[in-house]
Amino acid sequence: MKAVVFHGNGDLRLEDVPKSKIQRQDDALVRVTTSTICGSDIHIKNHGTEMGVLPGTIIGHEFVGVIEEVGESIIGYSPGDRVAVSCVFNCGQCFYCQKGIYSQCLHGAVFGGRCADGLPHGCQSELVRVPFAPRIMQKIPNGLTDEDVLFVGDILSTGYFGAEQGEIKLGDTVVIIGTGPVGMCTAIGARLFGAAQIIMLDSDANRLQVAQAKGLADGTINIQTDNPLSIILDATAGRGADVVIDAVGSRQSFEDSFNYVRPGGTVSLLGVYTAESNFAINKYWRKNLTIRMGLVEVKNMGALINLIEIGKIDTHFLITHTFNFDQVMEAYRLFENRLDNVLKVVLKM
Ligand SMILES: [Zn+2]
Ligand SMILES: [Zn+2]
């Protein structure tokens, strides 16, 4: 089967590999019909070696498909079912799963993240082995297309998680740093929690314009040209935001989050941080803040699909480019270099 394989930093190749197979009785084999390139795939492409990704790993983790085969213990799913699949998997039985902290599952991982120890490969391929399958798949209702639900297993769940972690209360002012696809999905989540005013920050004028035009942001701040702190203080009677969500993950965005939040507010850290910070605890301890951070918990896929089905969530605007899988390397080039105002690229098998 054809797949995108990591061969070392900076070396991704579309090539023929042996077919994925069912290995355990709770596996499903899913034929990928539509997938994406995620920002973290770019990170793996360039820094996979440091992240422990072994050469030979098929990458990719955001996808939907059709069940090809199910392991013998699986009930309720059959070949031919269309499914959305979580980007991460978990066993449901270990210490952390029993506490509902699935992100820390002792037997869990992200698809295509490492592939040591028999972990499954990623979804930028024709077939994917889905472990613990009934726990991490959702059937796609008949009336919905692949594109309707494509993001529920990764960025939409991540955005929702960032908003949930922000403990947003009805009527809150929420600042979201970053208008990438995850930042946009975070705004969708923030609305679901009843945010009254959403202010989004970025340096990309096109993305800010999209956020405003799609009704995700009530106000936007271009960090290149505006003074974010003074605009946020003006919008909040001088207090600062009730909730700040960092959907970027840089040292700067992390530190800014604590300046933008009001005393007693919540900072939700959603970015993938790769640098250390000199956190100015001496400056912020007296603000009585709640700080939440962590890996996404993908546990609301079913609810998100319901909301998509009734038209309360629509993420089609994120799909700016669609490629046939044969053109995946061109899709990487466009996505990585943020050409042509790309938000998300979709790969059709
Ligand atoms: Zn992802
Ligand atoms: Zn577990």
pLDDT mean by block of 10 residues, the chain; 349 residues: 96 96 96 96 92 93 98 97 97 96 94 79 97 97 98 98 98 98 98 98 98 98 97 98 97 96 98 88 96 95 98 98 98 97 97
Q: What is the CATH number of domain 2-154+298-348?
A: 3.90.180.10
Q: Are the CB atoms for 244 and 260 separated by under 8 Å?
A: yes
* Cα of 284 from ligand 1 centre, angstroms: 31
User: Which of 151, 146, 123, 114 lies closest to 2 in space, CA to CA?
Assistant: 123
For residue 213, the model assigns a pLDDT of: 98
The pocket of ion ligand 2, defined by CB under 5 A, consists of: 90-91, 94, 97, 105
User: What is the model's pTM?
Assistant: 0.96
pLDDT confidence of residue 51: 87
Structure tokens at 312: 């309360």
DSSP type of residue 209? H
* CA of 71 relative to ligand 2 center, distance in Å: 19
Tell how far the Cα of 87 is from the centroid of ligand 1, in angstroms. Answer: 7
Tell me the ligand closest to 43's alpha carbon. Answer: 1
Tell me how far the alpha carbon of residue 338 lies from the centroid of ligand 2, in angstroms: 36
What one-character DSSP code corresponds to residue 20? P
Give the span between the Cα atoms of 207 and 342, in whole angstroms.
Answer: 9
CB of 267 closer than 8 Å to CB of 258: yes
- The ligand whose atoms approach the alpha carbon of 110 most closely is 1
Residues of the chain with CATH 3.90.180.10: 2-154+298-348
Give the Cα separation of 45 and 12 in Å (integer): 6
pLDDT of 275 reads 86
Strand partners, 110: 88
User: Of the bound ligands, which one is closest to the alpha carbon of residue 39?
Assistant: 1
Task: Pick the closest to residue 133 from 58, 37, 67, 35 (CA basis).
Answer: 67
Q: Which ligand is nearest to the CA of 298?
A: 1
DSSP 108: -
Q: What residue ranges of the chain are covered by domains with CATH 3.40.50.720?
A: 159-293
Residue 66, classified by CB atoms within 10 Å of its CB into exposed (0-12), middle (13-18) or buried (19+), is: middle
User: What is the whole-number distance in angstroms between the Cα of residue 37 and the centre of ligand 2?
Assistant: 26
| Interval between CA 86 and ligand 2 midpoint (Å) | 15
Q: What DSSP state is assigned to residue 340?
A: G
The type of residue at 73 is S
Tell me the angle at which helices 181-192 and 205-213 cross, rounded to the nearest 10 degrees: 30
CATH superfamily label, 159-293: NAD(P)-binding Rossmann-like Domain (3.40.50.720)
* Closest ligand to the CA of 156: 1
CB burial string 178-190: b at 16+ within 10 A, e below:
bbbbbbbbbbbbb
For residue 1, give both structure tokens: 């089967």
Which is nearest to 272 in space by CA: 37, 60, 40? 40
